[in-house]
Chains A and B, each alone.
Chain A
Amino acid sequence: MSQPFRLEQGGRVDRSRPLHFRFDGRPYIGFAGDTLASALLANGVRVTGRSFKYHRARGLFGAGFEEPNTLVQLETGARTEANLKATQIELYDGLVARSVNAWPSAKFDLMAVFRHFKPLMPSGFYYKTFIAPNWHWYEWLIRAAAGLGVSPRQPDPDRYDKQFRTAEVLIIGAGPAGLRAAIEQADAGHQVLLVDDQPEPGGCLLHQAQEIDGLPAQRWLDAQLSRLSAMDNVTLLPRCTAFGYYDHNEIQAVQLLPEGPVRQRLLHIRAGQVILATGAIERPLVFPNNDRPGILLAGAARRYLRQYGVLPGRRLVIATNNDSAYAVAHELRDAGAEVLAILDMRATSPAQAAAVAAGFEVRAGVAPTGTWGRPVLSRVRWHGVTEAGQARPQDTGEIACDGLLVSGGWNPTVHLLSQSGGGLRFDERLQAFVPNRSVQAECSVGAANGDFNEELAVAPLQAIDVSTLGETPNYSWVDLASDVTEGDIRLAAQENFSAVEHLKRYTTTGMMTDQGKTSNVNAIGVLAGLAGKPPGAVGTTKFRPPFNPVSFGALVGRQVGAFYRPLRRLPSDALQRQAGAVMEDYGGWARAACFLRDGEREEHAVVREVTTVRNGVGILDYSPLGKILVHGPDAGEFLNRIYVNNLRTLQVGKCRYGLMLNEHGIIIDDGIATRWDENTFQVGTTSGQAEHVTELLEEWLQCEWLDLDVIVEPVTTQWSTIMVAGPRSRAVLQRLGLDIDLSPAAFGHMEARQGHLGEVPVRIARVSFTGELGFEISVPWSFGASLWQRLLALGRPEGIIPFGIESLMVMRTEKGFLHVGSDTDGATMPQDVGFGPIMDRKSEDFVGRRSTITPEGRRSNRKQLVGLEALDTTVTLPVGGHVLSESSGPASKLSQGWVTSVANSPTLGRSVALALIEKGPQRHGETVRVYDNGRSVPARICAPGFYDPQGERLHVE
């Protein structure tokens, strides 16, 4: 028979819409409105998962986000998603799921052999074992066996999104308390955002029959929804689970979107006031073998019955320590189930008398003490218990059944409150932790605040003590998700992990996908009993986000593919690509490494480009170079304090190289500074550093030197800059038609001019990073592409080519020019790169100066910049290779420095390098070994300038 546990009527499912699905390879049918869990239960699938460590058979235990057992791998291929709770998956036609942590299926799991090793795997066993000979011997095996679901191997084809939004009042939970709060707040004129994890609002009203305000639950719900729907200041987000509560009242939530192109979206909600109406979670009872399939929470059974029209079994036993389970007994019996007995740990209760009067067999002062089945529950054993929860050996019996519903009281869902920093207190009446203190603009209402509609009359929080029966608590499960037993908690306490946070980490209780929703308070109860303290004195762990698992897709949103790390584009980007540019990421910019011609390899292209620039002319889009305007009467003084070099004396129209340090004296940036007028400088930064340097300049101005009258304005991308380099560069520029005299006499090296090209403003600096005659010409960004085309066209008679960054790096290495970040590291000071004399000549203070003259700064064996040339001209020196002395003995194995930059120089016909080496400048001419990956290359230390050391080529006419 299809769906043997489905009732003919009742529930909120649509029986006219059957849905086909597969679980663990077998086909089943459910109905629209089902969850995967309710459909499995309706089909009589009892074994739905395997436990985390011991692979014990497990079945459905809860009905919502509290479910610890039934984790599934949903779908296959690229859309597969791991470790979802079956209780949270809305059923759809064609759904495919399989249980995780089991092979080949949950019902028949070969890995169940692990349960025989349970005595060898108590809590914390991994801290005591796998030590000898060392952890790595076992690591591969443990990693292979560990883990639950699997991640997809293909990219996720679905779309995800994010949304930032605000709310005057955010209400989390659309149960009775949430709906009441929404009406109150909306009536008061507030904009209300109501989020709820379920497809439809109502919370417990969807599966409870209680009366509210004198109305049946469903009628009360309909009335509230009718009122709310007439209010235009209330927005409801269904299928939206708030999972994180952060500072400044920011709530993060995930909304599932079954319709439309987006599968899920992550919401960042900044709320003026948060109302937590998150309800309560039922607590299990702790007794031996309380994890068998067929045992589930009484409240969950009620939900399966009333919301989905599914019976949790035909012959049921109910075990409770409070009054809430009695209503469940009545409803199940009304639906046709046989309630064989109600086992109540309490000696008396008004609910007991009413149940007896209604014809139930109520056994007062007894508790379940064991279960049997293969593996699904078939028999429950009970014992009489004392007020302290101890089993009385003589007072016992057994009941054959196919379902055991348990209720150990209710815990307010305080996870979000705890994340917000709020405090909790233990409520003796409820035997649960309830909100006590708010630190953000939030409040808890309804069951989340411990306000239940009915008196629960809960018995004290305790596990059922079976030591009087000569049994151990090693199979009394406290945490079903993490496979932690009462025995594990006892062991942890015995080993002095008795603080609740230590206990959590030692035993792993409260971890896993359910984050201890059904286990935490019971664990605290057990610990309290062992310590002889009230549970309130033991305290709780701090709840952490996420409240419920969140998919990586939702967290990432659209930040994938081209949107993952967008590269900045040059004005000539498209033109460069057309010209064969090999584009790469240089400091967040898409820049050409080199330009390939037909059939050319990159290394050949670099040789061609370097040779052409050295002998003719080439252009490079140099726009990313940072440009910052520094303006004001104190601009010179300000920059003089920032840079190692003296910039106050820089004349108008001149350029000067500048080195910037942090307060520790470490080189952090460099660039060319230009003085445009008495009060205005433009400072250059390395590519990708402009924002950082601007922030640094503002920080000094705003926090330290408020007396200086200086304004800073970043203009990097206002201007497009093209480097024109090579002995024929002047000839090309002279054809542009500028109103600037470019002749050597009128425009010297390290000078800058402003002018026009037609009506387009132009700035030119005669500077060089290649070692050749060079100009950097800047026009407004929008003219950059046009200028690029124009220069290539005008330079055709000179054989002009575009060249890339790799070629530039070869040329600057040949020249021995410093590249901050490559030739410096987090310890390099100016004196290490030849700036000692410049610092000595400067009388004024500057940022970082004091740190350069500390004992560390004056240490004689500092690593300093030198050149290195391979003795064998056919060998390439390895970048990053360590420099070792040629001498033998132990000292020969000590690194004396390393290679920072390498170039296979087409100009010099050999490999040249720059390196940071101890006492480098004093060792010119010395032969060393460069060691890399087991290979040593002999090399000679020399001055860093390999090419045109006198700089004559900068001045060619």
Chain B
Amino acid sequence: MSSEKPTTLVAELEARSGLGSVIGGPGQLVHRDAGLTIAEEAGLPVRSLRRPRVAANETWLPRQLRAQNLDLAMAPRQLAGDPGLSCARVEPHAWLICGELHRDDPAPAGWLSTELGDRLCAFRLSGPRAADVLASGGNLHGVTPGICARMPFADAVAVYVQCFASDQYRLLVDVSFAPFMARWLADAANNRIPPEGRP
């Protein structure tokens, strides 16, 4: 055993995304061409809000979101907001908030508010080819602007797909699959299918 004098280190640990990007810095650019950009959103804040089955404080979440100029998504799979701050109803009693809340009131008793920003790695896909690339991994049936869907993807993982516009998507994947997903998306983006045409 070494007789070196023990030292104490209280400096902050460094945070890195699932792809190794420094949190707070730019995320990794997975692919870019004229029709498609795929980029990691390193450090995207993600919060899960789960309401107790026995309804309590039903007004809290709408009030909280209104304070951020964000509507409460109430229909199944509805996605409200924009890529900067969004709210999606992902289960009957569960919502996923993506983005920084300007004001963060503590959840009332009974609710469970859980940070999931570390658990979920976010990829933004934008451009006219975004839907095609995603459709090579999962069924986008019904995933139209304003919809968030959980689905099996790439024959391997469960993901959330959020559609903000017909050429603007976000893919949320478990952080342990982030390196796989980055490689998979880059590979899919390079699989250029000749344009489909009219007869």
Contact = CB atoms under 8 A, between A and B. Distances in A.
B2 interface: yes
B187 interface: yes
Contacts of B199: 174, 179, 182, 194, 201, 225, 228-229, 234, 236
B59 interface: no
Interface in B1-23: 1-18, 20, 23
Interface stretch (B33-41, B69-77, B153-161): B153-161
B60 interface: no
Contacts of B138: 164
Nearest to B180: A566
A164 B138 CA distance: 6
Contact of B196 (A179, A235, A760, A794): A235
B175 A797 contact: no
A787 interface: yes
Interface in A527-581: 557-559, 562-563, 565-571, 573-574
A569 B141 contact: no
A1 interface: no
A938 B132 CA distance: 64
Nearest to B174: A717
B65 interface: no
A163 B6 contact: no
A424 interface: no
Contacts of B27: none
Given A262-B193, A629-B114, A759-B12, A781 B139 contact: no
Interface stretch (B98-106, B115-123, B162-170): B115-123
Interface residues of B, number: 67
Interface string B145-158: 00000000011110
A529 B191 CA distance: 54
B191 A161 contact: yes
B57 interface: no
A225 B197 CA distance: 12
B15 A265 contact: no
Interface stretch (A56-64, A706-714, A847-855): A706-714
Given A162-B136, A568-B174, A735-B9, A629 B193 contact: no
Interface in A703-723: 706, 709, 711, 713, 715-720
Given A717-B119, A781-B118, A758 B12 contact: yes
Given A236-B197, A711-B112, A731-B6, A786 B118 contact: no
A486 to B, nearest CB: 44
Contacts of A235: 196-198
B194 A781 contact: no
A393 interface: no
Contacts of A573: 179
B interface majority secondary structure = loop
Contact of A786 (B10, B13, B190): B13
B61 interface: no
A713 B50 contact: yes
A165 B135 contact: yes
A261 interface: yes
B26 to A, nearest CB: 15
Contacts of B53: 706, 709, 711
What class of interface size applies to chain A in its complex with B?
35 or more
B171 to A, nearest CB: 14
Residue in B5, B14, B199 with the greatest tally of chain A CB atoms within 10 Å: B199
A237 interface: yes
A796 interface: yes
Contacts of A757: 10, 13
Contacts of A569: 18, 176-180
A809 interface: no
Contact of A236 (B15, B112, B198): B198
Interface in A762-801: 779-783, 785-787, 790, 793-794, 796-799
A782 B116 CA distance: 11
Interface string B45-62: 000101011100000000
A259 interface: yes
A704 to B, nearest CB: 13
Residue in A563, A718, A760, A798 with the greatest tally of chain B CB atoms within 10 Å: A718
Given A262-B191, A711-B52, A737-B9, A228 B15 contact: no
A631 B196 contact: no
B85 to A, nearest CB: 20
A589 interface: yes
Residue in A562, A574, A718, A782 with the greatest tally of chain B CB atoms within 10 Å: A782
Given A164-B135, A709-B110, A568 B8 contact: no
Interface string A728-757: 100100111100000000000000000001
Contacts of B197: 235-236
Interface in A790-821: 790, 793-794, 796-799
A261 B190 contact: yes
B66 interface: no
Nearest to A225: B199
B177 to A, nearest CB: 6
B119 A709 contact: no
Contacts of A487: none
A566 B177 contact: yes
A194 B192 CA distance: 21
Contacts of A760: 12-13
Residue in B5, B135, B188 with the greatest tally of chain A CB atoms within 10 Å: B135
A268 B136 contact: no
A133 interface: no
A261 B191 contact: yes
Contact of B140 (A164, A568, A758): A164
Contacts of B17: 782
Contacts of B141: 164, 166, 270
B118 to A, nearest CB: 4
B21 to A, nearest CB: 10
B20 to A, nearest CB: 7
A334 interface: no
B14 A786 contact: yes
B114 A715 contact: yes
Contacts of A728: 1
A231 interface: yes
A779 B191 contact: no
B20 A574 contact: yes
Contact of A261 (B4, B50, B192): B192
B7 A709 contact: no
A244 B18 CA distance: 39
Residue in B50, B136, B139, B154 with the greatest tally of chain A CB atoms within 10 Å: B136
Contacts of A624: 176
Nearest to B198: A229
A691 B175 CA distance: 15
Contacts of A711: 50, 52-53, 93, 112
A780 B154 CA distance: 27
A713 B138 CA distance: 25
Given A758-B12, A799-B1, A781 B175 contact: yes
B183 interface: yes
Interface string B76-110: 00000000000000000100000000000000001
The 6 closest A-B pairs by CB, nearest first: A737-B10, A568-B176, A781-B118, A566-B180, A786-B13, A164-B139
Given A235-B197, A717-B119, A735-B8, 17 more contacts: A161-B191, A163-B135, A164-B136, A165-B135, A166-B141, A229-B199, A265-B193, A268-B139, A270-B141, A559-B156, A563-B155, A566-B154, A568-B176, A632-B110, A718-B114, A793-B9, A794-B9
24 contacts: A164-B136, A166-B141, A174-B199, A228-B198, A231-B198, A262-B192, A270-B141, A559-B155, A563-B155, A563-B156, A566-B156, A566-B157, A569-B178, A629-B114, A633-B110, A711-B50, A715-B116, A734-B6, A781-B18, A781-B118, A782-B16, A782-B17, A793-B9, A797-B3
Interface of B: 1-18, 20, 23, 43, 48, 50, 52-54, 93, 110, 112, 114-119, 132, 135-141, 154-157, 174-180, 183-184, 187-188, 190-194, 196-199
